[in-house]
């Protein structure tokens, strides 16, 4: 969980200047929190923490796409 939190905060910091890369890093944090718990332990409760991160990462990428137009 500490690694997920650190990657998430780094994603926010990167997203401040580079929206696309920040969104990608935040999506990586969502993967870090969901995939290991689902694959290893079968714990789908980790989606409670992962889905908001996926949403934020997708929104960052969406904003980057809108700014690009």
Domain map of the chain by residue range? 2-68
Q: What is the 3-state secondary structure (H, E, C) of 46-60?
A: HHHHHHHHHHHHHHH
Tell me the average pLDDT across 18-38: 86
Higher pLDDT: 22 or 38? It is 22
> CA–CA separation, 8 vs 23, rounded Å?
10
> CA–CA separation, 15 vs 12, rounded Å?
5
Smallest Cα–Cα separation from 31: which of 9, 49, 10?
A: 49
Q: Is the pTM of the predicted complex or chain greater than 0.95?
A: no
Tell me the average pLDDT across 3-26: 85
- Reply yes or no on whether the pLDDT at 62 is more than 90: yes
Q: How confident is the model at residue 10 (pLDDT cuts 50, 70, 90)?
A: confident
């Amino acid at each position: 969980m500490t690694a997920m939190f650190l990657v998430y905060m780094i994603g926010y910091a990167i997203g401040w200047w580079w929206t696309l890369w920040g969104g990608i890093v935040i999506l990586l944090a969502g993967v870090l929190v969901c995939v290991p718990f689902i694959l290893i332990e079968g714990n789908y409760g980790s989606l409670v923490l992962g889905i908001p991160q996926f949403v934020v990462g997708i929104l960052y990428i969406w904003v980057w796409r809108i700014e690009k137009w």
